[in-house]
Structure 1
Amino acid sequence: MNAHVGQLASLAAAEVLDRQRQAFIAEGHVSAAVRQDRLARLEAMLKKHAEALALAQDADFGGRHPGFSMMNDVLAPLASVKHCHKMAGKWMKTERRAGLIPFSLFGQKTELRYQPKGVVGIIGTWNAPVFTLISPLAYVLAAGNRAILKPSEIVPATAHALAVGIAEFFKPEEITVVEGGPEVADAITRLPLDHLVFTGSTAIGKKVMQNASANLTPVTLELGGKSPVIIGKSADLERAARHIALGKGNNSGQICVSPDTLYVHESRLDSLVAALKAEFIAQFPKISHNADVTAVVNERHYQRVKGYVDEARAAGTRIETAGELPGDGSRRLPMAIVVNPADSLHISQEEIFGPALIVRSYRDVESVVASINAGAHPLALYYFGKDATEERYILDHTLSGGVAINEVMMHAALQDAPFGGVGASGMGSYHGREGFQQFSHLRSVYRAGWYDPRKAMGVLPPYNDKFMATIKKWVGA
């Protein structure tokens, strides 16, 4: 990164933060009405700019159906906004908690107040460029905060379209969209923000957390990993193949909770591969000149995904291709099904994040669970089957950000349950009441009662023999 460019980015970001923080301090208490007004304006922005945002994503990807972008990056975050608008007033109410005995016997009370933290930075990613900014923003606003948004530089048209939309409906001291390259994101992560949200790779997440640590800025990291799918012997294979194909075909696999590695009993391996191919081809009868097929976002990622598959093929790995190779000069790819690749290959080691998946055969579920536990905790884990004992074993002996049973990816759409990772797949969460709490400071308030019993109890200085006897009695020593 050019040092001069980085310095200018830091100064600009610091100025935005100072402006928002001063406005936050001057505002004081953020009422339910103010929060709901901001959420209503965010909803209006999404609706008015829906088409512009969808067309911008089509341009940035070099081929992504505007209808899909509108569903994934307007309708989905809109659900978060509407949920927060409905629940903000309820979530922010002061709670009563148990008092401190014996003081509570004499009128002492305890309450918990949910207060906004201040200014939250949100750094989005390119694969869901609106969702990864607006969905957490809804919970940030519900909690009464202000926000600095940094869209991915990989999708510049989308970043600009969002900046235009936000500027129309919000003052800069409420929400500011900062466009620019990696140096801008780096500058934002180094600011003394009150909270920071980052969606992206685990490698960059580590750098974000390192930068944030200098100011002890709390972070929410939404990362990823090799989300596994366990297909039990009791599973309806055709149904499993259909749902996996639908999930993996979504955005050509460029989604953080996309199925990555499938495990199927060795007796059903060939049947699953055949079913997957059939389901992918049913979705996408052709690849070339097919607007339904999302292109790989840029040449670097295109070569990365293609390279994973080419390396596996060169190593003698069985590869089944669902669809023909494109002839339209685009970055669209057919779905590659890579069967039992060696552990040393890149496709086995790295999150695929593109139109390819691994299918591995197994003899017993225990070995599958051991394999999953030997790696980093994934953002999502999926199980297909009707065996309640097997399902319980998998849930009890694995750890992941979230789980879906007989489905893939849908848990990320839940608005009344938290979405987040664990370990290498992230920390913290948004969605649900937990998302509101993530961006609030839970402030305990102790209210003294009408009488202080400590003198009568003999626990004030001087600490004499009677005091020691009393304390020992309470301890049980």
Structure 2
Amino acid sequence: MKAGSPIADSLRASLAELQQQAVRARPDYATRQRWLDGLQRIVTEHQAEWIAALNADFGCRSAVETRLAELFPALEGIRLARRRLKGWMRPQRRGVSLWFWPGRAAVQPQPLGVAGIIVPWNYPIFLALGPLTSALSAGNRAMLKMSELSPHSGALLARLCERYLGPEVVRVVNGGLDVAAAFASLPFDHLLFTGSTRVGRMVMQAAAANLTPVTLELGGKCPLLLAPGFDMARAAGSIVAGKLLNAGQTCVAPDYVLVHADDRDALLAALRSAARRAYPRLADNPHYTAIINRQHHQRLLAWRDEAHQRGARVEVLSDEDDASLAAACKLPLTLIEQAPADCAVMREEIFGPLLPIVTYRQLGEALAHILHQPRPLALYLFDDDRARIDRVLDATVAGGVSINDTLLHVVQEQLPFGGVGHSGMGHYHGHEGFLTFSKLLPVFRQSRLAGTALIRPPYGQRVQVLLRLMLGRIK
């Protein structure tokens, strides 16, 4: 986006107005609670509108999933912030070295100013209001860029933020890739981006020009490891639920499964049963979400067909007519075995209901497979052996872990959420989110009884004696 373009100029003007508000009035506890109350009303008083907007964006978005995976966790985060805000805002005492007694030290959280938040299309409510809760509780103003693939949700959020918070607190920006590029180039005090690793690199590069600190919530190949001998029926229900929520269009969805070779047949049978039980039909099922658009639908079909053409075993867990599914822009859970390592489904984040199955013989072989991949946003382990669980946790690095279930670590508001390496940097949610959008101001308060005059110039014998005590006697 060229400097001086109408879009860039408009965005810069909006940011400048918010920055002036941030300088003019630092929000106190009561103001922040009022902001959080506005966020809570955006969720609680407009549920039907959110359900309709998401359904329009996806073509078919399960109302249950919108309430369960978007409205509920967003509301939980707001409730936690409202309960804990006074404690989060309180200065924290820090220790002072013996040599500087009776001085006192503390860190005092301060707002950064204006936060920028770039929101993806797959969970536009939760991934907008989650970071916004952190930013507002920390006392910042905010600008949000909503995805062009979720225009109905973006338009609704813009209306509700103006109504409940006002343009002097939050501004919501909608538009295409040109708007997104201009938005990422603005000199925010902090920028949080949720999306793909590829785009995350571009956002970080744009932010670097302004030395804007960034939090990147990316994706990657999230592994699911089944320990040898684990109850496959018990695991399958969780795998299907985690993989098919939002039709797999979830950054922390299990991307592939590692299963012991001796358990492979039991796993496949359990997955078939669990998938058909959860979704006995797909095309006309209002509880099974559609792929966001035809382009992504075709991408997933192409990746599936590539694996099949290169010798992979592909099993589509549906008996429905392909034309009916295509018309509804839906895809069934599809199991893919023995796909070559350089296939797209084995290299790229899938973001859909394709599930590669990889067998192993020794646990070390499975761990080596995970470690060979970039560090994931989520790791899933199904195991009841504590020693083996500790071994896996010690051997791997991931943004977050759920043991014996999928996805649920993300909606624990008192746990930080974030990636590591290729899956992102920084985190938010709960207190960690408050800290991400705060400047921890170090404050030292000197006492009238301070002895620091003893180490001021002119330096004489007294300073030499004190230094020997401070550093230890020099022989």
In the alignment, what sits opposite 2:347?
Answer: 349
Once the 2 structures are TM-superposed, how far is the Cα of residue 41 of structure 1 from its aligned partner? 1.0
1:157 Cα deviation after fit: 1.3
Contact kept? 1:278, 1:322, Cα under 8 Å:
no
Q: Is the 8 A contact 2:242 2:406 kept in 1?
A: yes
**What code does the residue aligned with 1:123 have?**
I
Work out whether residues 316 and 333 of structure 2, in 8 Å CA contact, stay in contact via their aligned partners in 1. Answer: yes
Of 296, 307, 316, the residue aligned with 2:311 is: 316
Partner of 2:84: 87
| 1:475 corresponding residue in structure 2 | 471
Count of matched residue pairs: 470
2:330 to 320, 329, 332: 332
Alpha carbons 1:115, 1:440 under 8 Å: kept = yes
Check conservation: 2:142, 2:170, Cα contact below 8 A.
Answer: yes
Conserved? CA contact 1:149–1:176, under 8 Å: yes
Distance in 2 separating the partners of 1:375 and 1:7: 41
SS of alignment partner, residue 327 of structure 1: helix
Aligned partners of 2:185 and 2:206 also within 8 Å: yes
Structure 1 residue 368 corresponds to structure 2 residue 366: yes
Q: Is the 8 A contact 1:119 1:147 kept in 2?
A: yes
The alignment partner of 2:401 has SS state of strand
Aligned to 1:209: 204
SS of residue in 1 equivalent to 2:323: coil
Provide the residue aligned with 2:457 in structure 1.
Answer: 461
Counterpart of 2:404 in structure 1 is: 406
Q: Shift in Å at residue 466 of structure 1?
A: 6.4
| Aligned residue number for residue 65 of structure 2 | 68
User: Is the 1:241–1:279 Cα contact (8 Å) retained in structure 2?
Assistant: yes
Aligned amino acid, residue 144 of structure 2: L
**Rounded Cα–Cα distance in structure 2 between residues aligned with 1:443 and 1:455:** 25
Letter in 1 for 2:60: G
1:188 matched to which residue of 2?
Answer: 183
Cα distance, 1:180 vs. partner?
0.7
**Identical-residue share of aligned pairs (%):** 37
- Once residues 453 and 29 of structure 2 are traced to their aligned partners in structure 1, the CA distance between those partners, rounded to angstroms, is 43
In the TM superposition, 1:375-394 aligns within 5 A as 375-394=373-392
2:161 to 146, 166, 172: 166
TM alignment of 1:295-306, pairs within 5 A: 295-306=290-301
**What is the match of residue 279 of structure 2?**
284
- Give 1:318 deviation, angstroms: 0.8
Give 1:455 shift: 4.2
CA distance in 2, matches of 1:295, 1:403: 27
Q: Which one of 97, 101, 115 corresponds to residue 98 of structure 2?
A: 101
Partner residue, 1:424: 422
Partner SS state of residue 188, structure 1 = helix
- What CA distance in whole angstroms lies between the structure 2 residues aligned with 1:242 and 1:75? 22
Q: CA deviation at 1:470?
A: 4.8
CA contact (8 A) 1:115 1:143 kept: yes
Query: Which of 37, 45, 49 is the equivalent residue of 1:48?
Result: 45
Aligned mate of 1:32, from 29, 33, 36: 29
Kept in 2, the 8 Å contact 1:280–1:335? The answer is: yes
Report how far residue 395 of structure 1 moved: 0.2
SS at match of 1:102: helix
Could you tell me which amino acid in structure 2 is paired with residue 82 of structure 1? R
By how many angstroms is 1:35 displaced?
A: 0.6
Unaligned runs of 5+ in 2: none
**Counterpart Cα distance in 1 of 2:73 and 2:213:** 26
For 1:412, give the aligned amino acid. V
Aligned pair partner of 1:114 in 102, 106, 109: 109
Bigger drift between 282-291 and 142-151 goes to: 282-291
How far, CA to CA, are the matches of 2:257 and 2:144 in structure 1? Answer: 35
Question: What secondary structure is seen at the aligned counterpart in 2 of 1:215?
Answer: coil
Could you tell me whether the CA contact under 8 Å between 2:64 and 2:287 is conserved in 1?
no
Which letter does structure 1 place at the counterpart of 2:194?
T
- The AA in structure 1 aligned to 2:9 is L
Q: Which residue of 1 aligns with 2:150?
A: 155
Q: Deviations over 1:92-138 (max 9, x none)?
A: 0111111232221xx31112111111110111001101111101111
Contact kept, 8 Å, 1:51 with 1:70, in 2: the verdict is no
Residue 465 to residue 109, structure 1, CA distance change in 2 (3 Å): closer
* Unmatched tracts of structure 1, length 5 or more: none
**Which letter does structure 2 place at the counterpart of 1:15?**
A
Matched residue of 1:86: which SS? helix
TM-score between the two structures when normalised by the length of structure 1: 0.95
Distance in 1, Cα, partners of 2:86 & 2:469: 47
Q: What SS class does the counterpart of residue 98 from structure 2 fall into?
A: coil
Q: 1:45 Cα shift?
A: 1.6
Counterparts of 2:159 and 2:433, CA distance in 1: 26
CA positional deviation for 1:473 = 5.2
**Cα separation, 1, equivalents of 2:189 and 2:423:** 22
Once the two structures are superposed, residues 131-184 of structure 1 have per-residue CA deviations (whole angstroms, 9 ceiling, x without a partner) of 111011111111111110111111111111111111211210101111111111
Q: Contact 1:153–1:179 at 8 Å: present in 2 too?
A: yes
Provide, for residues 290-329 of structure 1, a one-character-per-residue CA deviation record: whole Å limited to 9, x for no partner: 2222111011111111111100011111111111354331
Residue identity matched to 1:131 = F
